[in-house]
Chains A and B, each alone.
Chain A
Amino acid sequence: MRLPTYRQGSRAKTGRRRVPVVGLAPLIGLLLLWQLLGDKNSVTFPPPSQWWEGWIALLHDGQIGSSLIATVTAFAVALAVSTVLGTGLGALVGSSKAVDRTTGPLLQFLMNIPPAAIVPLAVLVIGFGTGMQVAAVVFGAVWPILLNTASAMRSVPSVRLEAARLLGLSRSARFRRVVLPSLIPGVLLGVTVAAPIAIVVTMLVEMLTSSPGLGAQLLDAQRAYRSGEVFALSILAGLLGYLVNTSIDWLETFLLRNWPPGVRR
């Protein structure tokens, strides 16, 4: 009997390797079955052909373009702000044990508040608008970045810092050229976790405040029982999520192109 090959234990991330395309078979099979057995006029379980009809209806309606732009813009801005804020705060928290201990309980409490629950608060305190949307998303998305940056900060190899000092680098140069680049993998890991949260909260704000965007259109379609459109929009949202993930992967590949291979998460 062949012994199973030893993969890297818990560090193996299945998403990093090429996944066999035949794995899509169950999904495609399910969709085909649905199409064949489904009732075209069903309001609750429209078969895939109806999703296409819904998509055509959306295109005709014309709003889909501006909705998409609104959602993507808000999401991108919020994620950028979260990254800057999370990196800064995370570096601060990770740099000193005292700061870590002091801010610990407060941060623990804040980060355990479900980001969705912050949205009504943001609506009341900040009022309607893109600023509120960004604030709400940042509140939810900043924590993974903060935590991962702090962790990366704590694990900068002291050898690197000593080498920098030996080379006569000034404090700011040390930070800029040794510490900050060392944080990049951690920050990117945080961003990978934060991106889905950001998408969810962005669309949630749209749903709760009917501000222009994919979320608002989705909820509208559901309330009007335009089921084909509901499914079509959900798939669009899924595509958006997939694109965001892929973009972050590319960004990581680009930023870490000169790094030794073992560093990538």
Chain B
Amino acid sequence: MHHDRPLLDRVNLSGLILIGAVLGCWQLADRIGLIHLQYVPPPSGVAEGLREIASSGALWSALLHTVMAVLVAWALMMVVGVALGLAIGLSRVISTWTMASVQLLRTLPAIALVPVALLTVGLSIESEILVAAYVGTWPVAISTAVAVQGAHPRLHEVAQCFRLSRRETVQKLLLPAAWPEIVVAARLGMTIALIVVVVTEMIGNPAGLGFMLVRAEQALQPEQMWGYLITTGALGAALQMVLNATARSALPGFAPQLTTGAR
């Protein structure tokens, strides 16, 4: 029996009020001259800036560039990461002979790799994708490996009972058992991909949201800069939402675990 909670209950009223209050104070403080920080335009100014870059088309091409880089990097890190994770998780030999390298390689700060990628691959979208995929592969691989290794022994007994081949065991039992961890790693990977792509655009590749952000800053155009900033934040939130929705619909049985990643 379902009671539909009253709308007032479901909508986070106090939360909305807080955000409204912050925006209101910001606008008011500027209006009465309390803050005249040159580079903190009031919300109205930010809206104007957004309108400018949106209508000139600059926003959309930058957005498209960044989104493409993020999605390709994410796909790459998931494919390589899960494959590597499966290999490490399923084979003691591989695990022994590769884990130390994986642990070492993942501690390299992403930021230090950006100049390396710019040097080797040049100033292009490939360098963004390469660094982002590199940084994101390790958490995905490790999460997958841990999840596969931690699968309940009873699953292996079931596989034995049904005389499943190794491949079938992985495909039908072990991999599905790892889905919650893989989804959590996928979310983390998406965040990593966005950050690394934006950073690479800020430092090297002259294209995408990161580059436009820095360019607006150097040209002392705060409204536009804020516009790009908000777009980047919104992009991050949107990507996460899409990922969550896809995961929930693709794996309906795992819904409660997917939000916390706990078993």
List residues of chain A with CB under 8 Å of any chain B CB. Answer: 1, 3-15, 19-27, 43-45, 98, 101-106, 108-109, 112-121, 123-125, 196, 199-200, 203-204, 207-208, 214-215, 218-219, 221-222, 225, 227, 230-231, 233-234, 237-238, 240-242, 245
Contact = CB atoms under 8 A, between A and B. Distances in A.
A4 B210 contact: no
Contact of B115 (A13, A113, A219): A219
Given A19-B103, A200-B199, A207-B203, 5 more contacts: A8-B150, A24-B104, A43-B119, A114-B199, A241-B109
Given A21-B100, A44-B119, A119-B202, A203 B225 contact: no
B232 interface: yes
B96 interface: yes
Contact of A13 (B16, B109, B146): B146
Given A3-B156, A6-B152, A112-B236, A208 B202 contact: yes
A70 to B, nearest CB: 15
Contacts, number: 207
Nearest to B180: A10
A117 B100 contact: no
B198 A3 contact: no
A8 B203 CA distance: 42
Most buried by A among B118, B195, B198, B220: B195
- List the 10 shortest-distance A-B pairs measured between CB atoms, nearest first: A23-B100, A120-B217, A237-B112, A222-B115, A124-B39, A9-B150, A105-B15, A102-B14, A113-B233, A27-B101
B149 A234 contact: no
Contact of A203 (B111, B160, B216, B237): B111
A216 to B, nearest CB: 11
B101 A23 contact: yes
A146 to B, nearest CB: 16
A20 B111 CA distance: 28
Interface in B186-217: 194-195, 198-199, 202-203, 209-210, 213-214, 216-217
20 contacts: A10-B262, A10-B263, A12-B150, A13-B146, A20-B99, A25-B101, A44-B119, A102-B14, A103-B18, A112-B233, A114-B195, A114-B233, A117-B198, A117-B209, A120-B217, A121-B229, A204-B202, A234-B115, A238-B107, A240-B109
A118 B232 CA distance: 10
B147 interface: yes
Contact of B153 (A4, A26, A108): A4
